[in-house]
Structure 1
Amino acid sequence: MLRSLRTEGAATRTELARRTGLAKATIGTIVAELGTGGAVSEDQSAPSGRGRPGRPVTLTGESIIGLGFEVNVDYLAAVALDLGGNARISTIRQVESAGPPTIDEVLSLVTEIRDSMLAAGHSIVGATVAVPGLVEHDNRTIAWAPNLGWDNVQLAAKLESALGGTCPVTVDNDANCAALAEASHGVTTDVQHSLYITGTVGIGAGIVQDGRLLRGGAGFAGEVGHMPIGDESSVCGCGRTGCWEASVGLRAMLKAVGMDESETPLSTAVSVAERAAEDAGIRAALAELGTNLGTGLATLATVIDPSVIVLGGYFVPLGQYVVPAAETVLAARLPAADKHLPEIRLSSLGIHAAALGAAEGSLAGVYAGAVSI
């Protein structure tokens, strides 16, 4: 019933019985229980009775919170999402250390958000952390995150301790989380098949089909930044040469335009876009980057056949300079481009996309009935 209210909106008890296939009396019992727990509310002002429309039941759940965090090379992000899909907290922090964030910095942010939510009277039912790397099948262990310098890190256990052992913690890939956020809050709510491309120091992909992530045999699907289709002389953060990421990642872009990185990938790209408006050389460099981007997208689209390709992160402010070249390559390289050409869209969720998707993931146990409220 919670899933029905979230995806299809408010409904009367009769309508909920029709949607779910449950008996109306059962729906009444569930509504009463969920109302006591603060998950739903029933409009008592609406008239009810024989011959009158029923009172609509609405998913509220303001006090039931899922936490989402993103750990990236140069920033940390956090989102606290209530059961109705409303963000109660949305914040970003620049990494204070002279390199990737430390575990202590992550734990400090987690503790701060936890304390804020508990002080406001909220109940935290779960937390998910998005990271730019490979995550083991247990959804708790970071197998390999080269840009963070983390290898076999038991991150979930550390965060559960910081949260006081009161809620489960999972770990997921940042592109996977951002792809889910776009499907539920962003620019792919209208399609069933989408490919999300991160635009940070690393390049990853989240693949969504029929509302579910495609994870692959070991759960490592989407590590597209390490496809060997980049400049063979460029060294990647993974230590190899020729990776796509080394040609189209944030630092590759900055090297191409001769500019320095600022606080976050988005703020950096905004500065580049401002310069590009007046500098033909920078526009040409971005167009070349768009060509390299399109080459990789064409490779992926040939295999995955998405309806929409979403570009996130630093690509968004630079869309007008990068996307046209990528679209040209995509149209030229796809064997059936005349029959189906994926549309390239820019993310609408900003720097918080992965953290928002992580927060959605932390509420999944509630919608699956595995976590009581």
Structure 2
Amino acid sequence: MVSAHAERLRWHTAAQLLTVMRDAPGITRAAAAARLGIGSGSASELTARLRKAHLVDEVRAPAQGRGRPTAVLAAHPEGPLIAAADLGVAGWRLAIAGVDGRPEIVAHDEYAGHELSAALAGMSRAIGAVHRRHADRLAALSVSVAGTVSDARLVQFTARGSRDVDLAVLTAKIPRRVAVLLGNDATLAGLAEARTGAARDVTTALHLMVAQGIGGALVVNGEPVAGGHGAAGEYGHVPFGDPGLRCPCGARGCWDLTVDGRALARHLGDRVPTDPIGYVHDLAARRDALSRSAFRKVAASLGRGIGALVNLHDPEAVTLGGVAALLRAQATGAFDDAFRDALMAFRKASPPPVRDALHGEDGPLQGAVLAGLDHVTTPDALAAWVGRRRA
């Protein structure tokens, strides 16, 4: 009888192959073997074992001119699935993804005002429907939330004025064997950029995402710095803003209030927008003198704060997600000047590059997928998947 330890070791290289396949979509078996440092014979044996376990398949790549068709690694059509949900300020989405990490949206909806409970109920029904369709394959539910997450709980959903939100309704229609993961949207977006996005070439990256307010993550070696209780990265609540402004979080002077659609509306004398993200997009299309002035003020606050965080964290690169890249693009000069002026003297000659996020506003959902796959593609999880299939 094979021991549990031996079974874990048996699936160690398999877990590494799945990581390579996820990080390099469309990779061939030979190229994956080269990355892992194994021979072609070992790669063939490993791929055959994973195909038998319904984890990996090889499919024909799209034709590119003449020559023999190329077979690339892909998720097995009967393999494990991740359900990844993204709960934002004004809407939610639910996707499923195989071990290749490619999400397919299967449900979505919008909500307004304080209809959070109705939104959660709708998400729960959609999650239940996914489980009914894929009862034997659903391995994890990974949820991204535009709120403060601590110790796997949503402790503050500032965008909706809620605290200690009970998310148990999301798991009401799925069995306990399905792993449930909860993460902050900006943190998960940072994970996505570090693994498969604009920061995949650096060891230490700072990701900042503007939606309603600003959040982010410091990602080191592909892992977000979570803090003692998992609530790190609440950059929007650093007092870089006006001390005369009280934030919905309960503090004063939060940076949040100076870098998003609410800040633009305040500069223009408009009412607080119910959808700050949509407001930024709408205002960017106006291009009148007043809107340009508002964008310069917001972009300057964004650049100045990022400069301060560069002094704090010393990242090799900074990535901008959500509407942060759009805010910078509307007033590049104001952003660049404020960013440079905030840097310590020794950094000014070679500041870290500030890049637009590759995943854009899909970063939180993509990060939720990756977090789920981290959980279900460990050697232990792969061994458990095969054990269930044998039972």
Aligned length: 357
Deviates more, 1:111-120 or 1:230-239: 111-120
Aligned counterpart in structure 1 of residue 353 of structure 2, from 343, 364, 373: 343
Identity of aligned residues (%): 25
Structure 2 residue 50 is the aligned partner of structure 1 residue 34: yes
CA distance in 2, matches of 1:123, 1:299: 46
Aligned counterpart in structure 2 of residue 152 of structure 1, from 164, 173, 186: 164
Distance 1:93 1:325, change over 3 A: farther
Structure-2 residue corresponding to 1:364? 374
What TM-score does the superposition give when structure 1 sets the normalisation length? 0.83
1:180 maps to amino acid? L
Unpaired segments of 5 or more residues in structure 2?
A: 1-16, 62-69, 386-391
Structure-2 residue corresponding to 1:94? 110
Distance 1:199 1:43, change over 3 A: closer
Q: Is the 8 A contact 1:179 1:207 kept in 2?
A: yes
SS where residue 317 of structure 1 aligns?
Answer: helix
Q: CA-to-partner distance for each residue in 1:126-167, whole Å, 9 max, x for gaps?
A: 111122333233xx3223333333433442x43222324351
Structure 2 residue 322 is the aligned partner of structure 1 residue 307: no
Q: Is the 8 A contact 2:51 2:76 kept in 1?
A: no
TM-superposed CA distance for 1:17, in Å, is 6.3
Give the alignment's Cα RMSD to 1 decimal: 3.1
2:145 maps to amino acid? V
Aligned counterpart in structure 1 of residue 140 of structure 2, from 126, 134, 141: 126
Structure 2 residue 115 is the aligned partner of structure 1 residue 136: no
Q: Is the 8 A contact 2:123 2:170 kept in 1?
A: no
CA distance in 1, matches of 2:114, 2:109: 14
Aligned counterpart in structure 1 of residue 121 of structure 2, from 88, 107, 112: 107
Distance 1:326 1:61, change over 3 A: farther
Q: Is the 8 A contact 1:160 1:166 kept in 2?
A: no
Distance 1:318 1:291, change over 3 A: closer
Unpaired segments of 5 or more residues in structure 1?
A: 46-54
Structure-2 residue corresponding to 1:72? 88
Structure-2 residue corresponding to 1:325? 334
TM-superposed CA distance for 1:341, in Å, is 0.8
TM-superposed CA distance for 1:271, in Å, is 0.8
Distance 1:29 1:148, change over 3 A: farther
CA distance in 2, matches of 1:337, 1:207: 19
CA distance in 2, matches of 1:44, 1:359: 25
CA distance in 2, matches of 1:7, 1:287: 37
CA distance in 2, matches of 1:260, 1:61: 51
TM-superposed CA distance for 1:266, in Å, is 4.0
What TM-score does the superposition give when structure 2 sets the normalisation length? 0.80
CA distance in 2, matches of 1:93, 1:210: 35
Going by fraction, where is helix more abundant, 1 or 2? 2
Q: Is the 8 A contact 1:205 1:223 kept in 2?
A: yes
CA distance in 2, matches of 1:219, 1:134: 9
CA distance in 2, matches of 1:339, 1:131: 38
Q: Is the 8 A contact 1:71 1:101 kept in 2?
A: no
SS where residue 316 of structure 1 aligns?
Answer: helix
Structure-2 residue corresponding to 1:49? none
Distance 1:266 1:245, change over 3 A: closer
SS where residue 203 of structure 1 aligns?
Answer: strand
Aligned counterpart in structure 1 of residue 291 of structure 2, from 282, 297, 302: 282
TM-superposed CA distance for 1:19, in Å, is 4.9
1:133 maps to amino acid? G
Structure 2 residue 258 is the aligned partner of structure 1 residue 247: yes
